[in-house]
């Protein structure tokens, strides 16, 4: 765990350079990359929020049927859907969800994770993994 945290902190130090490189390669959204640094582009709103995370396009697509059902559930006010890739974000543009908000998953550092959780305050969290 120490090595992992150490390496994450090194990556965080170099993250501005990494992000610039990824912007040049068109692997990041020009304005939304800041979400990975917990500069939120969407408002949370009030009420119950359920959070789903899928890193890739396949994982996001596997969540869609669940999201469609939860969109009809009156006890859920907002659905937060996070992903890590620009392509998964682009896939979500094809759907017309009313309650669902997409944000990019934050960098895995203590500061960013705490800030993310304190802002969104999810009532339930579901991580989808297709490579198990």
Sheet holding 124-128, edge to edge: 100-104, 78-83, 49-54, 124-128
Domain of 122 in residue numbering reads as 2-128
Quote the CA–CA distance of 102 and 82 in Å, as a whole number.
6
Which tens digits make up the pLDDT trace of 51-85? 999 988 999 999 999 999 999 999 999 999 999 88
Identified catalytic residue from 35, 59, 129, 131 = 59
Where residue 40 sits, what CATH number does that domain have? Answer: 3.40.50.11720
Is 28 marked active-site? no
pTM of the predicted structure, to 2 decimals: 0.85
pLDDT score of 132: 64
19: number of Cβ within 10 Å:
17
For the chain, the domain total comes to 1
Q: Which residue, 124, 105, 98, 108, is CA-closest to 28?
A: 105
């Amino acid at each position: 765990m120490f090595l992992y945290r150490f390496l994450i902190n090194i990556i965080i130090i170099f993250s501005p350079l990494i992000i610039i490189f990824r912007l040049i390669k068109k692997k990041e959204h020009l304005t939304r990359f800041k979400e990975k640094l917990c500069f939120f582009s969407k408002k949370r709103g009030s009420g119950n929020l359920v959070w789903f995370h899928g890193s890739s396009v396949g994982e996001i697509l596997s969540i869609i049927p669940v999201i469609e059902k939860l969109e009809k559930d009156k006890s859920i006010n907002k659905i937060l859907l996070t992903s890590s890739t620009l392509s998964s974000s682009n896939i979500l543009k094809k759907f017309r969800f009313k309650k669902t908000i997409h944000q990019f998953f934050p960098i895995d550092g203590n500061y960013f994770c705490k800030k993310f959780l304190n802002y969104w305050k999810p009532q339930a969290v579901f991580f989808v993994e297709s490579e198990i």
